[in-house]
Chain A
């Protein structure tokens, strides 16, 4: 009996040590990546290539999700507000919900699914096919070629995509609220201008900057350490990709709650 309990304690202890080691490795990875991202040489051509992939190629997805999110908000917002005779506040409701919360969060989740998974898979395949070892053996720092461009691209692209999401979403809400349900166009935009402040816009941008960094961190880390935690081969890459998407998505929501509840931006 005592032996069984000892084994249980030992197993739990080993798991705790493993988790702490992994978190430590993730922390060191982030520090190294930020140090490399802030010191020359920066591979600008690679950064541009990654902006094209993470940012530009995500625009269509952001347009679609932003538009439909705004349209749903328009419907639900109108239905709820009209019960209290407050349908004039549809504009501010759609605007604030998109700019402060839904824009940054949904854009980040979309980028994670579309681009983050590819980033992990690409780096993971380079790891298992020894291409990262080849870079190291050439005396080159793999962080500068594989991690830093993704960090810069995500930090630049995610806030811009969020801005597009917000604008398209507001227009989606306008289509439903004004064109379909009959709210006055002047009231929709007039009330929005009255209630949405620049502070709210900055809060949304600040959140999306955080999420951009978070996506790049988790997805690059999972790819870079493919084989260490997930096994080698195609299965290892597949597991790393899944873990990257799940962990990024969960961390985006947790971090969003943290930023919102602590009024971190204010």
Chain B
């Protein structure tokens, strides 16, 4: 029997993967994937809790979050293309000019 706990554990694992990804990944594209994973981890949580309470609003939130995530990525990808055109690199560490 898969209970709420299982879903929450899944959500937690996904979240950790996402966090590690944000920290470790240098490729900008991968970075966005990681943020997506983070957001979807939360989505899983919302959906599970929503089912548990029998309250639909949680699942509704998941849709909103997906929309927000999509728009964030849209902006991000735009910037990525711009940066690639300028420098020919998608390395996050190449964006590092303003020290001090």
Chains A and B come from one and the same complex: no
| B interface list, Cβ under 8 A from A | none
| A interface list, Cβ under 8 A from B | none
